[in-house]
């Protein structure tokens, strides 16, 4: 069994090298003026919150000005580079790769703090890098949506690292607050972080001094981030609760799209989206569309993605995690995030062989997997992780042969 597991690991690493090469190639073909965070960073450098031009479709028009609707931290990350190279800066991929490397280093230390065996930690990191949504958002970090996810995952990982290594709850609060300013759903992981900060003998809810101090250390930076975001919205749109998505859709046939249609006819959130989003989150498989007169030509690859269970089947093994308080609280936080996104107008497309919105709660999943993947089931995890890597290799191959 151990020989076969080692052989499987070698196979997984060799396949992962192909995916790493795909990421490397993508860094060489990135073009400028294609990531709206460059435009937003340029606006910040000029002392403005609006932009001269958007580089993608998610652009709000309000009071005669254009705005990038997304939260601001990824643009702040890009500011030094835009200051040096201008709004045509075209190395977001390199920043994304650096963010990936930093995230993996943090997770190595997280797993070390959890006393996960070295062999298991290597399998977990291999799966996280090349068989989870983290691979795809790194591959597409040149675009605004994926770059935000890349930076967000790094910041959430940093917050988790601070808590699990027993370092600083204040820094953990700063990191998760900054993550909220990348991806708003990240704020719903705060209860998970708080539960992790407690010893097993401490109650989850208490009005004791130690509890209150701990809550303030973690919560005050988060409250500050919320205040920043509300102020940011108010300065842009005159309403702290207005993110700008209401101003994306416009009945302009030259820029009509699925999202435009949904926002115009249904709205930002609706129960009408639940069946579609649920199927793609839990059920949809690897979906290639065939065509041609003999129906033997690959003509399309489903841009709505593949379900997390089909693309990353190893996540099912998290059910074997012990039902400790952090695991239960984390599962409830993940369920809340996933539940909200079921009502959302988009599911993260365009995306291939992934559901990138699951990355918002993937840190909880890998925490649970680190507890679940013990010696008896580690070979099964390795097999499923290798299968997930194979699917990503297949996805890259399909995309390479599709007509542009």
Token code pair at residue 130: 């090349």
**3 state DSSP class of 65:** strand
DSSP H stretches of helix in 131-273: 133-139, 144-164, 169-180, 190-197, 209-237, 258-265
DSSP letter assigned to residue 269: B
**pLDDT given at position 255:** 54
CA–CA separation, 91 vs 7, rounded Å?
Answer: 36
Local structure of 19: helix, strand or coil: helix
399, 366 contact by CB (below 8 A): no
Check if the beta carbon of residue 133 is closer than 8 Å to that of residue 356. yes
pLDDT at residue 210, rounded to an integer: 84
User: Which pLDDT belongs to residue 248?
Assistant: 82
Q: What's the domain count of the chain?
A: 1
CA 68 to chain centre: 19
Provide the β-strand partners of residue 148: none
Residue 307's domain spans which residues? 2-401
Residue with tokens 């709660």: 361
For 291, phi and psi rounded to 5 degrees?
-160, -160
CB burial readout 192-216, b (16+ within 10 A) else e: bbbbbbbeeeeeeeeeeeebeebbe
Q: Is residue 329 within 8 Å of residue 189, measured between CB atoms?
A: no
Whether 142 contacts 26, CB under 8 Å: yes
Rounded-to-integer distance, Cα 213 and Cα 191, Å: 15
Token look-up 């269970």 returns 309
Q: Is omega for the bond preceding 115 within 30 degrees of 0, making it cis?
A: no
Q: In a structure prediction context, what are the per-residue pLDDT tens digits for the chain, which is 404 residues long? A: 688 889 999 999 999 999 999 999 999 999 999 999 999 999 999 999 999 988 887 888 898 899 999 999 999 999 999 999 999 999 999 999 999 999 999 999 999 999 999 999 999 999 999 999 999 999 999 999 999 999 999 999 999 999 998 889 999 999 999 999 999 999 999 999 999 999 888 888 888 888 899 999 999 999 999 999 999 999 999 999 999 988 886 555 445 578 878 888 898 999 999 999 999 999 999 999 999 889 988 999 999 999 999 999 999 999 999 999 999 999 999 999 999 999 999 999 889 999 999 999 999 999 999 999 988 899 999 999 999 999 999 999 999 999 76
């Amino acid at each position: 069994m151990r020989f076969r597991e080692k052989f499987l690991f070698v196979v997984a690493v060799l396949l992962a090298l192909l995916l790493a090469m795909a990421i490397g190639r993508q860094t060489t073909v990135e073009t400028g003026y294609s990531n709206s965070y460059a435009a937003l960073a340029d606006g910040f450098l000029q002392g403005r919150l609006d932009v001269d031009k958007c580089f993608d479709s998610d652009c709000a028009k309000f009071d005669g000005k254009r705005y990038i609707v997304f939260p601001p931290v990824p643009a702040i990350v890009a500011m030094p580079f835009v200051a040096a190279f201008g709004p045509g800066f075209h190395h977001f991929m390199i920043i994304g790769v650096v963010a990936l490397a930093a995230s993996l280093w943090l997770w190595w230390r997280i797993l070390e703090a959890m006393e996960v065996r070295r062999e298991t930690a290597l399998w977990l990191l291999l799966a996280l890098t090349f068989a989870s949504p983290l691979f795809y958002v790194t591959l597409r970090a040149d675009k605004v949506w994926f770059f935000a996810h890349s930076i967000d995952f790094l910041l959430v990982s940093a917050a988790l690292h601070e808590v699990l290594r027993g370092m600083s709850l204040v820094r953990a609060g700063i990191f998760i607050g900054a993550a909220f300013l990348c991806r708003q759903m990240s704020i719903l992981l705060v209860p998970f972080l708080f539960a992790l900060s407690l010893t097993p003998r401490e109650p989850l809810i208490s009005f004791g001094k130690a509890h209150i101090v701990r809550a303030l250390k973690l919560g005050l930076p988060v409250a500050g981030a919320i205040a920043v975001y509300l102020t940011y919205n108010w300065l842009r749109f005159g309403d702290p609760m207005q993110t700008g998505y209401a101003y994306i859709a416009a009945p302009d046939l030259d820029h009509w799209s699925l999202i435009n249609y949904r926002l115009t006819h249904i709205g930002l959130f609706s129960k009408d989206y639940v069946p579609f989003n649920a199927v793609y989150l839990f059920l949809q498989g690897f979906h290639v569309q065939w065509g041609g007169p003999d129906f033997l030509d690959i003509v399309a690859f489903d841009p709505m993605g593949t379900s997390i269970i089909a693309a990353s089947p190893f996540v099912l093994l998290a059910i074997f995690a012990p039902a400790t308080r952090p695991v239960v609280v984390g599962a409830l936080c993940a369920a809340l995030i996933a539940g909200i996104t079921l009502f959302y107008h988009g599911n993260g497309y365009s995306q291939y062989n992934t559901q990138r919105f699951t990355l918002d709660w993937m840190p909880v999943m890998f925490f649970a997997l680190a507890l679940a993947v013990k010696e008896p089931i580690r070979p099964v995890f390795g097999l499923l992780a290798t299968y997930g890597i194979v699917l990503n290799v297949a996805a890259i191959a399909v995309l390479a042969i599709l007509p542009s």
